[in-house]
Structure 1
Amino acid sequence: MMYGTWPELLVVDVEGNGTTPPDLVEIAALPIRDGRPDKTTAKVWLTRPNRPVTPFATRVHGLSNAALADKPAWSEIAAEVHSFLGTAWICAHNAHVDYGVVSAHLPMWQPAGVLDTLRLARKTFPGLSGYSLDALIKHVKPDLSEAPGQRHRAAFDAYATAQLLIAMASRYETWNQLVAAAVPPGLPGAPEPEKDPTLW
């Protein structure tokens, strides 16, 4: 696939405080340029949630209430995050979740489209026993030697998702084929269903 034909694309990962619906505690946005993750222009924001982080969430990502106590509230960084995301395509693993959380926090944000590496992996590698990020890392074996931080933090997971996307995209000849395989129905950028030519 010719990566030069890709539109502007950011791999996004979020970490939440463990409540339902979640408050954001961390969001990473990693541009993909020329078929590679561009760490030099990537952004990561930590934010103090309105409601406390649950013990379970802290066990997953390691971000405690104490660690976030001096971080800005979401209202202080929302405009900057919105500006950085702009109208670019985004990609996330199990994108319904990340897209839903970011949309709830940025009601005016409208990405050009949403790629889901979970959906793409099910099309690209049918028959795997699991499609979690860990399962796909084990299957694809992407180079994560330059991944920042550790697993379950937004920057690391965004980098891993980017490497998985790039590895799977190489199996598709065009951007439109990738979109058809990777965009969940109902999310921005989903291909229009084929119209039945027999209908007037």
Structure 2
Amino acid sequence: MDLDPWEDASLIAVDLEGSGAQDGEHEAILEIALVPLVHGHPSPADSYHTLINPGRPLPRRPWTSPGLTNEALKDAPPLEQIEPELTTRLADSTIVGHNVTVDWRLLRRRCPNVQPAALLDTLRLARICLPDGQRKGLQPLLEHYGLVQRVDELASDSQPHRALWDAFGAALLLFELIHSAPESLPLRTLYRSAVIPIEEDLTAQSGPEQLPLL
């Protein structure tokens, strides 16, 4: 199948780590990473990563990403300082992520000026390419495709469940899923399954007629 349309699109893998959904409207972004894809491959030289100071001490919780302690975050920039950078980098691009709507809900709430073109969910894509119901988490999928070592190399200062590692993981996974998709699944079908318009109610499944072609 012809892959030029997606390889030439403006795609940026994004992952963020937050203080937890239990904080509700007060959930804070603690770390974010952006990894542009160039011709379908992650571009380390163009990547962006930062910790974010939430402006308040946070209790240690079992689900907090490893290393995101109050000590580590205290000297990080506040979100209002880096929001212009995020807005510029993500403008009119398609955000790639694994279960991307979770990160997008928090990013949209905290950074309303960020205006990407669409979202592309590697989790939805995996459900089409691997319909057996197995290996749907990011790390198991990367293990399935033999990509963990490559992610470790690209994000040598990070680790699973941290923003930079997971962003590189989603970028590599996207390429692998598209190239390993059954020949019976045309690229348009994959887009309709995985691309989510920004205007869509994120609680609903995308409809084919709503999807932009990249």
Contact 2:19–2:64 under 8 Å retained in 1? no
- Displacement, 1:52? 2.8
Could you say which residue in structure 2 is the equivalent of 1:94? Answer: 99
- Displacement, 1:24? 0.5
Given candidates 145, 160, 163, the residue that maps to 2:172 is 163
Contact 2:35–2:47 under 8 Å retained in 1? yes
Structure 2 residue 191 is matched with structure 1 residue 179? yes
What secondary structure, in the 3-state scheme, does the structure 2 residue paired with 1:20 have? helix
What secondary structure, in the 3-state scheme, does the structure 1 residue paired with 2:134 have? coil
Structure 2 residue 23 is matched with structure 1 residue 20? yes
Contact 2:159–2:165 under 8 Å retained in 1? yes
The CA distance in 2 between the partners of 1:67 and 1:52, in whole Å, is 11
Question: Which structure 1 segments of 5+ residues have no match?
Answer: 195-200
Distance 1:36 1:130, change over 3 A: closer
- Displacement, 1:8? 0.3
Cα deviations by residue, 1:52-92 (Å, 9 ceiling, x for unpaired):
33312675331111111111111111111111111100111
Give 2:170's aligned amino acid.
T
Contact 1:147–1:160 under 8 Å retained in 2? no
Could you say which residue in structure 2 is the equivalent of 1:111? Answer: 116
The CA distance in 1 between the partners of 2:55 and 2:160, in whole Å, is 24
Could you say which residue in structure 1 is the equivalent of 2:151? Answer: 144
What secondary structure, in the 3-state scheme, does the structure 2 residue paired with 1:78 have? helix
Could you say which residue in structure 1 is the equivalent of 2:140? Answer: 135
What secondary structure, in the 3-state scheme, does the structure 1 residue paired with 2:95 have? strand
- The two structures, once aligned, show a CA RMSD in angstroms of 2.3
Question: Which structure 2 segments of 5+ residues have no match?
Answer: none
What secondary structure, in the 3-state scheme, does the structure 1 residue paired with 2:115 have? coil
Give 1:106's aligned amino acid.
C
Give 1:8's aligned amino acid.
S
Could you say which residue in structure 2 is the equivalent of 1:71? Answer: 76
Count, aligned residues: 192
- Displacement, 1:177? 3.2
Give 1:20's aligned amino acid.
D
- Displacement, 1:187? 6.0
Could you say which residue in structure 2 is the equivalent of 1:9? Answer: 11
Give 2:129's aligned amino acid.
T
The CA distance in 2 between the partners of 1:193 and 1:118, in whole Å, is 21
Which piece of structure 1 moves more, 126-135 or 72-81? 126-135
Could you say which residue in structure 2 is the equivalent of 1:50? Answer: 55
- Displacement, 1:20? 2.2
Could you say which residue in structure 2 is the equivalent of 1:197? Answer: none
Identity %: 33
The CA distance in 1 between the partners of 2:153 and 2:3, in whole Å, is 21
